[in-house]
Structure 1
């Protein structure tokens, strides 16, 4: 991941609340330590109240089917819909009509993936270092060249 969206009670106090926590113990501290950008959003942006309506406009449905996201089983996952609502608001997808009928939604099966923590990713040299000039010095760089 490149960026992590974190809900806060008051977006104006986001930086203040992050700095008060001891470094590396808060969620944002742990995420930042892994080299991921943290963005704080108001908690209200993660409300799943209107997300089904937004999805009905953003998702591309098969021809001949009703464009209603409420019938999709993934919309029953409350935490996922809350996270999706935050992403939709953060990216301002509803403000640009070119996004309408563009996306598809599917559940990913994470049991088929290998999970690596930040230390393993660094030790295995999976991603290039920020100051590395050679693009092929990492596993990602080598595979991207193929």
Structure 2
């Protein structure tokens, strides 16, 4: 259920929109707002960017952040939902439908100030009013019931991910490069992660 997420999982939330009518954007391109939360590390990572209709930048970002589950807005239209489900399937990520209103940004600043332990909220998401990214962030705060987990208040950090500054490796490329071990893989040396996990650094 909501809030019942393994502590070692990274979970994502995505909100889709259009650049037309969005502050700071031109044209009518696909616009994506995404937030990732690493519960164990108490880190919130958010991004908002223009993407193509196949959501290739989003696919790369989801793969590289290692998300296992993605929360989607109940208000998402059928075409967007189909495209999101296709993208998440490629990334082997579970789609979860949020209840209506989960992506609402009401009380967002108050909630985030408590989580971050900060009286002032700085950064691109607030200063540029990037509403899709902020909505995705609010959705995860509600979905993971972070306001009820008072022991973590004041200990969270917020990072902005610039989608233009990372290498675009989609799900297929990551598999082809054997970055992560595949299910049922016996040989620990068959993936880059498996090899690095066996490295020892001098004490």
Gaps of 5+ in 2: 1-66
Partner in structure 1 of residue 4 of structure 2: none
Name the residue aligned to 2:74: 8
Count of residues in Structure 1 that have an aligned counterpart in Structure 2? 128
Please identify the structure whose Cα radius of gyration is greater: 1
Task: Report SS of the residue matched to 1:27.
Answer: helix
Other structure's SS at 1:74 match? helix
Deviation at 1:72, TM superposition (A): 4.7
Per the normalisation by structure 2, the TM-score is: 0.56
**Greater relative CO, 1 or 2 (CA 8 Å, sep 6+):** 2
The 3-state SS of whatever aligns with 1:93 is coil
Kindly report which structure 2 residues correspond to 1:73-92, keeping only aligned pairs within 5 A, or say none. 73-75=124-126, 76-92=129-145
Q: CA deviation at 1:7?
A: 1.1
Query: Which residue does the alignment assign to 1:47?
Result: 104
Partner Cα separation in structure 2 for residue 116 and residue 43 of structure 1: 33
Partner of 2:87: 30
2:163 maps to which residue?
110
Residue 128 of structure 1: aligned partner: 181
RMSD: 2.3
Q: 1:74-101: per-residue Cα shift (whole Å, max 9, x none)?
A: 2222111100001101111001111210
Q: 2: CA distance between counterparts of 1:40 and 1:4?
A: 9
Q: Distance in 2 between matches of 1:131 and 1:143?
A: 19
Corresponding residue of 2:120: 68
Report deviation, 1:110: 3.3
Q: Which runs of 5 or more structure 1 residues have no equivalent in the other structure? A: 11-16, 62-66
Higher helix fraction (1 or 2): 1
Q: Is the 8 A contact 1:6 1:28 kept in 2?
A: no
Deviating beyond 6 angstroms after TM superposition, the runs of 4 or more aligned structure 1 residues are none
Which residue, 162, 170, 195 being the options, matches 1:142? 195
Q: Which has the higher strand share?
A: 2
Partner SS state of residue 110, structure 2:
helix
